Amino acid sequence: MDTPEADCDPLAEPELTPLIASAATQHQLEPKLLKGVIDQESSGRPCAVSPKGARGLMQLMPATIEQFKVGDAFDPRQNVEAGATFLKQLLDKYKGDVKLALAAYNAGPGTVDQTGAIPDIKETRDYVDAIMQKLK
């Protein structure tokens, strides 16, 4: 997966780690899972914007930004909070299946629901595999 163009430096670990820890605790998520998504989505760059319009550390799409009433998608705390909320919803929806939740985070829940599995999209398969490797 191509890393989005970003003209800012990655957030330093001392700044990023407490944001991840707080969101992980609040949403009962594994901190390594959130960190993996952030690394894969934005390489830790809070100003990242994808060609499809996803924004910030967890690459929130405009509909997700609106759904979770994110005031500033480039604010690391707001972005990680909304991304963690969305990821938790996906984990609940897919009964704790991390691979399906990650596939839905990447390709959208509708795409995963159509197939009932990780969709046969190279970007999505690579995305899920890369994050799962980081969880080992």
Q: Which residues are catalytically annotated?
A: 41
Residue 46 CB: number of other CB atoms within 10 A?
25
Please report the beta strands in 1-136, taking only residues with DSSP state E, as ranges in sequence order. Answer: none
What is the C-alpha to C-alpha distance for residues 13 and 49, in angstroms, rounded to an integer? 21
DSSP secondary structure letters along 90-102 = HHHHTTT-HHHHH
Q: How many CA atoms lie within 13 A of 79 on its CB side?
A: 27
Distances (CA, A) of 103 to 43, 78, 110, 125, 133: 18, 22, 11, 7, 14
What is the C-alpha to C-alpha distance for residues 63 and 29, in angstroms, rounded to an integer? 22
